[in-house]
Amino acid sequence: MDRELLRTVKLATKNHAGVLFRRAVRHLPHIVAVTALVAAAPRLSTLLTAAVGGGGMGWARVVPCTALFVYNCACQYVHENTYALVVSTENITLNAYMGNNRPMLVTNTLFRVGGAAILLSNRAADRRRAKYQLIHTVRTHRGAHDQSFGCVTQEEDDAGEVGVSLSKELMVVAGEALKTNITTLGPLVLPISEQLRFLATVVLKKVFRADVKAYLPDFKLALDHFCIHAGGRGVLDELEKSLKLSPWDMEPSRMTLYRFGNTSSSSLWYELAYCEAKGRIKRGDRVWQIAFGSGFKCNSAVWKALRTVDAAGLAPGDNPWMKEVDMLPVDVPKVAPIDESSYQIPN
């Protein structure tokens, strides 16, 4: 059974999640489905259950845009010595907006169809062939705040057209969620020196009422690669500035947004695949995945590379970037002229 699973998961990298529906999922006791921005009917969990014929434990947890929380659930609650399959998708075709409300048109331009399948194992025997080990997960949910709760909503416009509306406060909300998240994550990953600097500024502000700027720890001292949810250029620009990241650090996220668009939770795996295709992943490296979702949620996962990924050994079907990785990165201007000659206006 193990050999068939590994062989099928390798195929899944080539054909995304579809090949898993009929073969490997029949051997998996736990299946975790992560749907798109807005869940479809029937939901992905229903389709997966039908695909496996009700086999295994038959449970599926659907959480839009929050795959990292699902990974944590899979690790905490599944039985010992077993597997869990996480299927992460985005299918914006279900929620294409046909109206003229500008805040609701943004999703039509950002989101794209994408998917990824990740096989998790808590079997000790799988460590020698696993690529990564999940070290930390931190989930932040700010739904109790009205501004956070209402910044991303599905609603009808004045003409009755249904779409997803993104409010102007989205960037502020995302920043607050990230701040709360890294406050919890920091003590888990940062060296003592950075923690002491951060604590010193807190004491100065809270105890001595000093007018000092809050100290933002240097996460590059503890983490080697950054896979930030490719939600949009504005989000990436703000995080690059806030976390003091370099263009090299932001390259996987920016190229994923450029090439594949916003594919919700699956974008994190396109970004990790980019790092692998570029030959960046070395044994012992730590990867920080940061995801955002409506609600508003911010989730972090830290993975440790258990082996070096040889980019030269990756076949075109093993990684979605292999056919064009040598041409990347490219410069993406903020404003680009539209070539009107490439469009034909219908009579």
Residues annotated as catalytic (active site), given as ranges: 65, 141, 225, 229, 262
Q: Is the dihedral of CA 119, 125, 127, 133 positive or negative?
A: positive
> Prior bond to 296 cis, omega within 30?
yes
From the list 87, 95, 84, the residue with the least C-alpha distance to 114 is 87
Nearest-angstrom CA–CA distance, 224 and 212 = 29
Which positions ≥6 away from 226 have C-beta within 8 Å?
219, 243, 245, 249, 250, 252, 253, 287, 288, 290
Contact by Cβ (8 Å): 18, 117:
no
Q: At what angle do helices 247-260 and 233-242 cross, to 10 degrees?
A: 170
Characterize the bridge pairing of strands 297-305 and 286-293. Answer: antiparallel
